[in-house]
Structure 1
Amino acid sequence: MDELDLVMNWELGTGGLLVLAASAVAVLLVMIMALRVHAFIALMITSIGTALAAGIAPASLMDALRFGFDSTLGNVMLLVALGAMLGRMIETSGGAQLLADRMIEVVGEKRAGLGLSLASLLMGFPIFFDAGLVVMLPIIYAVARRVGGSFLSIALPSAVAFSAMHIFAPPHPGPVAASSIVGADIGLVMLVGLVFAVVIWYLVGVLLAPRLGMRFDVPIPTLLDSTSEKTGFESSPRLGTILGLLALPLVLILLNTGLNTLGSAREDTEAFLSDPLVSGLRLLGETPIALLITVAVSMVVLGWGAGKKGTLIEKITDSALGPICSVVLVTGAGGMFGGVLRVTGIGDAVAGSLNEVGMPVIVAAFLIAQIVRIAQGSATVALTTAASLMVGVIAAGDFTQLQIVAIVMAMSAGSVGFSHVNDSGFWLVSRFFGMDMKQTLSTWTVIQGAMAIVGFVLSVLLYAAASVLA
């Protein structure tokens, strides 16, 4: 409620907010799974009903709806649109199939999913979850077409790799914000977070996710498909060209990350980062700008450089936008639902109650982040909320830096757990992987829950080891 000035007709207590949240999720599940209402419509109806039931006055309703929708759509739309254009050009040129063939030659068909997942893990260090997944989609689709078998067993490990990096390792916003709030050493958080991400990727992404994926026969999505007919954009790109196009946004984003890290380590941080040259280079590494530059370079290299006409290049890039419209709108509506749950105060009410129970700090850190995540959907909000509530406890205690890092990891683990219908990422994975809601709940929700549990166990082990060393 601090982020919006809403007019309220009444305010519910913690118990009422919990009942409302559970009821809203139940209604949404019935609408989508039983009544077969389109997810976008169902999410809008549920968001409106939840806001009004929570006491938000009609005059403030649109502000509450836009709170989550606008921010989610603003973050996702540019990344998905630019990533889809890039993917479409790589796909239609033959570059995706080339990469798939070469990768399979190196790792073998039986390890194709592992090879994709490992590549996603490396890409996931500098690039955000949604942007990285979109860039990898044409490669995932091409590999799945080549090796056959279960599509989800090939695709899900890559999503786990991106998610693990996004949740546990700086420079991603959640762990950076939490570290700043509680005063954790960001370098130590990065080192430990990378170790956690790799362990969780292997245990959940490599060992568990393919087994869950085998349970469902999901056809390969056709969002970026060009195999049904010739487009005229086909060419014979070199392997180095395609790898260079995929590496370009990563290099630019790493440039941004490196400069930000260097600036934070200097005494004159503000002056350094505001320097015209430095700020210009940082701009090039902002994810939407990096993807835009890569799309422009792809148009030159795969388009005009390959002898294609401008009208054909325009047609190919435009054809990438139509299929992803549903993905963007459903994802934005998922953000709307999560935003409504956030402004009604559900997450804060539950977190505040848990913080007063007096349980061990490492357990409280995990549970607060986990329940806020389940209540309102956003992993970053869950992590920063938990950090804000735990900072007083940490400041009052005699904790070593390694113990504080373990607490940050516990909060990170809690913030990833059990993604469901109020999480925009849930709908992103659902639509890009061609799953219905029941399939997504049976795979992605379970996977994210497993990531949370493994992360919490690792955090407890680290905290115990740090306590022995203290």
Structure 2
Amino acid sequence: MPLLVVGISVLVLLFLMTRMKLNGFAALLLVAVGVALVQGIPVADIPDVLSEGIGGQIGDTMLTIGLGAMVGRVMGDSGAAQRIAGRLLDAFGPRWVQVAMVVTSMLIGVTMFYEVAFIIIVPIAFTLVRVTGAKLLWVGLPMSIALSTMHSFLPPHPGPTAVAATFHASVGHTLFYGLFIAVPVGAFIALLWPRLPFIRAMDPAIPKGLVSDREFEDGEMPGLGWSLSVALFPVVLIAGAAVVDMTVSGDGPVLHFVAFIGSAPIALMLTLLLAIWAFGPRIGRSLADVNTSCTSAAQSMAMILLVIGAGGAFKNVLVEGGISDYIKDATDTWSVSPIILAWLIAVILRVALGSATVAVVTASGVVLPLLAGSGIHPEIMVLAVSCGSIAFSHVNDPGFWLFKEYFNLSVIEAIKVRTTYTTVLAVLGLGGVLAMEWTLDVLSL
């Protein structure tokens, strides 16, 4: 049974990494090969399947994570991250630092991918940890939870946008309805989770090399205007391109240019160039010093990228092994409310495959025939599928490894933190979707 294969593979992976202390990159590749053999993928094809998985995952994330890490390190080594962190502390106070993280993350995360927003904001979170003396998860976890919620629930993020196209739903209406669910649910979990006893018992240190250890005097730091301008520059480019894409129809060189500079890699590359000048020659730092910051960031990211790439290989083996087709066939005959069915199929696919995008696309295809004549608003169905796709993030999800490595957690600790919060977000999201559908039905009477 394919789902049994998934369960056993996860247990083997946990055993290799926790008991055998095997490196995450090697453990993921070994388990991926084992699953490929069990699922009947021809031996001659396995190297190509692994390569495609690694290439697809690294292709999607290397530029984003690499450039973002360099921007963050340049800002940290110049004092710009400390300047922003200090202003957030002045505005919210040390007692409300978590609220500051939630507000910042939700505003940035509405239009930016989880990985991009995470890489941009995490240096500020690290700096706040150092300045306030708070625990890393106390400050960083609200940021990650808020970003996860925005990314998984709302367009223009890829999953919800793809499902909206399948269901012929309005992207604007989906975003509008989704905000009423995502904001309260995300804020509630973001502020609750760090307070849970099993989370407070963890005290990971900030990973070395990702942020400057120096504490700057006020006169040594760049001004707040420049610091914020560089931090928000990619946000403006990416968000602007998303708004144009949702509101302007047609084709032409101007729209192509907007899409080009609004793509995450290009926006971050332009931001890095701006940061190199603004926090280098403009304030008297040599280009050699700035280059040292970039090199340090790249070296610190090497193992993180390897582990994320291996996670992509594991995910691709599960997909190529036919597990998504098995789940699709098994759920075809279920007699359940279309909303709950859409959510449940997305959850099962997410657990089995790790890919939220594969989960939402497959789930939407299964429930699409049920939408016609059901009377359910298509936007609500989009939200049902989308919030189901966030559940049970674990070792076959490359985002899990990004979270684990940046917060310096063991595999078991990362499961305790991330797998639990993503699952609760999905369950509360389903409750919000059902409540929203009931509200729309009442208002339409």
SS in 2 for 1:320: helix
What is aligned with 2:203? 217
What is aligned with 1:444? 418
Q: Where in structure 1 are there 5+ consecutive unaligned residues?
A: 1-15, 264-268
Confirm or deny: 8 A CA contact 2:209 2:296 kept in the other structure.
no
After TM superposition, give the deviation of residue 436 of structure 1 in Å: 0.8
- Pairs within 5 Å for 1:261-340: 261-263=246-248, 269=249, 272-273=250-251, 275-340=252-317
What is aligned with 2:327? 350
- Pairs within 5 Å for 1:2-401: 16-211=1-196, 213-227=199-213, 235-263=220-248, 269=249, 272-273=250-251, 275-395=252-372, 397-400=373-376
After TM superposition, give the deviation of residue 407 of structure 1 in Å: 1.9
What is aligned with 2:392? 418
* Deviations 1:205-236, CA, capped at 9 Å, x for gaps: 12234435313111222232322699xxx942
Deviating more after overlay: 202-211 vs 182-191:
202-211
After TM superposition, give the deviation of residue 336 of structure 1 in Å: 1.2
Distance 2:396 2:263 in 1: 27
After TM superposition, give the deviation of residue 351 of structure 1 in Å: 2.9
Confirm or deny: 8 A CA contact 1:157 1:210 kept in the other structure.
no
Confirm or deny: 8 A CA contact 1:156 1:213 kept in the other structure.
no
Deviating more after overlay: 191-200 vs 417-426:
191-200
SS in 2 for 1:421: coil
After TM superposition, give the deviation of residue 152 of structure 1 in Å: 0.5
SS in 2 for 1:416: coil
Confirm or deny: 8 A CA contact 1:347 1:371 kept in the other structure.
no
Deviating more after overlay: 321-330 vs 356-365:
356-365
Distance 2:280 2:308 in 1: 31
Deviating more after overlay: 60-69 vs 150-159:
60-69
Distance 1:315 1:229 in 2: 18
After TM superposition, give the deviation of residue 460 of structure 1 in Å: 1.5
* Deviations 1:271-310, CA, capped at 9 Å, x for gaps: x33x112211221111110000000011111111122222
After TM superposition, give the deviation of residue 404 of structure 1 in Å: 2.2
Distance 1:28 1:334 in 2: 11
Distance 2:19 2:424 in 1: 27
After TM superposition, give the deviation of residue 259 of structure 1 in Å: 1.9
SS in 2 for 1:36: coil
What is aligned with 2:380? 406
Figure out how many residues of one structure are paired with residues of the other and give that number. Answer: 441
Distance 1:65 1:25 in 2: 17
Distance 1:217 1:423 in 2: 24
After TM superposition, give the deviation of residue 120 of structure 1 in Å: 0.9
Ranked by relative contact order (alpha carbons within 8 Å, sequence separation 6 or more), the top structure is: 2
Confirm or deny: 8 A CA contact 2:342 2:363 kept in the other structure.
yes
Confirm or deny: 8 A CA contact 1:84 1:321 kept in the other structure.
yes
After TM superposition, give the deviation of residue 345 of structure 1 in Å: 1.3
Letter in 2 for 1:424: P
SS in 2 for 1:194: helix
Letter in 2 for 1:35: M
Distance 1:334 1:213 in 2: 25
Deviating more after overlay: 110-119 vs 291-300:
110-119
* Deviations 1:331-356, CA, capped at 9 Å, x for gaps: 11111111111111112211331231
Letter in 1 for 2:359: A
SS in 1 for 2:319: helix
Confirm or deny: 8 A CA contact 1:47 1:337 kept in the other structure.
yes
What is aligned with 1:8? none
Q: CA RMSD in A?
A: 1.6
- TM-score when normalising by structure 2: 0.96
Distance 1:438 1:95 in 2: 34
* Aligned sequence identity (%): 31
Distance 1:251 1:466 in 2: 33
Q: Where in structure 2 are there 5+ consecutive unaligned residues?
A: none
What is aligned with 2:404? 430
- TM-score when normalising by structure 1: 0.91
Letter in 2 for 1:306: I
